[in-house]
Amino acid sequence: MSLATALVTGNEPLPLLAETAVAQALARAGLTTANSVLLFLTPDFSRVAQACVTAAARAASCLQVAGGIAAGVFTEHGAVLDRPAAAVMVLGGAFSLIATDEASATESALLSFAGGAMPPHWQNPPPRFGASFKGGIGHGEPAAWQAGRLTNTRSCTLAISGGRVDLGISSGLRLIGTPHGVDAARGYDLHSVGGCTALTSLLRALGSAGNDVAAASPQACCAVLIDDNHPGDAPTALAAGRFRPLPIVVVNADESLTLTEHVRPGQRLAWAIREPSTSAADMRHTLDRLAADSRDAKGALLFSCIGRGPYFYGGEDTDLALFAEYFPGLPLLGVYGTAQIAPGCAGSNRQLRHGAVAALLADH
């Protein structure tokens, strides 16, 4: 095997866990050394991250160890959110990770992970996929590493060499109502849409969606900005990635809604709801497309939202279970983050909330 994973947990965040995970992954791949290693650690390791990266590099006999601190980690063997854990994928054979200055001619999207907010310039080409994790109280600063060392930018960007990367993006959203033009907005506050207040517009959309969602709270919904540069309806735009989800932060007394990003008058906006059944159905649709396009996958990466994993699905990560159903036994490395990074339109990139970005790694 050219790719293999391992997941190791412990009671204490010790570098030995990273070393053991690499050793187990190498054994599963039938390798003695790795070309590259992807290593993700839970927040418990924030203060000993460099020691863990060094231990992983030593165990793999390679310098290219990349990854970061994430809210939680998982492989095809399971998921961990509540205790120290190290998740590893070793890359051998034709596969390796290379720095972007060595991969300027690559046609594949770049693997990108940010320990903190997504850097603003990542919104521009080239296309990227991955995640960011802003960290949590009591766990120290977020971190990321590349080439076996923690990076000053708390981010890493690499190309996956030696194979093809096929991406699938699940928004986890269900559109409700129809898109309308933004009439008035100021800063992060959306005031009116389609001739009525933002709150009234949202409540009307909820009501039109039927009794199963009419009683949902506004916080279970989000605004979706639709890209008007491409013709077509809103569901098509959602499936094609021509949208930007904006979670609702607060409902204000004047019936405006505070969103996570600025909106401008004239933009086309729709409403969407997040619910377990919708997210699972959307993930299944995403995996249907990936399975049809990538029959020769050797491994996979999955970047999911901390708000979409076991906490959202009632104790079990339905997305992970669906992945195992579609790709049984396929080596999988995944992380839970606070945002997911995915290609958008014309080579640009966007952040998702409550999304899942899957990448199948296949031979050319």
Q: What is the pLDDT of residues 199-230, one digit of tens each?
A: 999 999 888 766 555 456 677 788 988 876 55
Q: Which of residues 242, 273, 304 is at a domain's end? A: 273
Same domain, 209 and 145: no
Q: In what side-by-side order are the strands of the sheet with 85-91?
A: 3-9, 85-91, 36-41, 65-69, 144-146, 149-150
* Closest to 167 (Cα-Cα) out of 108, 234, 118: 108
Q: Where are the alpha helices (DSSP H) in 242-309?
A: 276-293
Q: Cα separation of 41 and 54, whole Å?
A: 13
Same domain, 164 and 178: no
The DSSP output letter for 127 is P
Same domain, 231 and 101: no
Same domain, 154 and 184: no
β 221-226/196-197 pair status: unpaired
**What pLDDT shows up at residue 207?**
83
Q: Cα separation of 307 and 342, whole Å?
A: 17
| pTM for the full predicted model | 0.89
The DSSP output letter for 309 is S
**What pLDDT shows up at residue 103?**
46
Which residues of the chain are under the pLDDT cut of 70?
101-107, 136-140, 209-217, 228-233, 235, 237-241, 345-347
Residues 6+ apart with CB under 8 A from 160: 91, 95, 96, 97, 108, 111, 361
Q: Cα separation of 264 and 356, whole Å?
A: 27
Q: For the residues of 169-205, what is the DSSP string, one character each?
A: EE---EEEEEEEEEEEEETTEEEEETTEEHHHHHHHH
In tens, the pLDDT along 75-95 reads 999 999 989 999 999 999 999
Same domain, 211 and 247: yes
Q: In what side-by-side order are the strands of the sheet with 110-114?
A: 96-99, 155-161, 110-114, 128-132, 339-343, 349-352
Q: Which of residues 273, 293, 325 is at a domain's end? A: 273
* Closest to 190 (Cα-Cα) out of 261, 244, 238: 261
**What pLDDT shows up at residue 74?**
98
**What pLDDT shows up at residue 102?**
43
Same domain, 194 and 212: yes
Same domain, 60 and 155: yes
Q: How many domains is the chain partitioned into structurally? A: 2
Q: Which of residues 273, 305, 331 is at a domain's end? A: 273
Same domain, 268 and 199: yes
Same domain, 158 and 303: yes
Whole-number Cα distances in Å, 161 to 4, 302, 343: 16, 18, 19
Same domain, 247 and 317: no
Answer for the pair 238, 346: CB distance below 8 angstroms, yes or no. no
Answer for the pair 357, 118: CB distance below 8 angstroms, yes or no. no
Same domain, 208 and 297: no
Q: Where are the alpha helices (DSSP H) in the chain?
A: 15-29, 49-60, 198-208, 211-214, 234-240, 276-293, 310-313, 318-326
Per the structure, the complete domain to which residue 135 belongs is given by: 3-170+280-362
Same domain, 32 and 89: yes
Residues 6+ apart with CB under 8 A from 345: 227, 229, 230, 241, 242
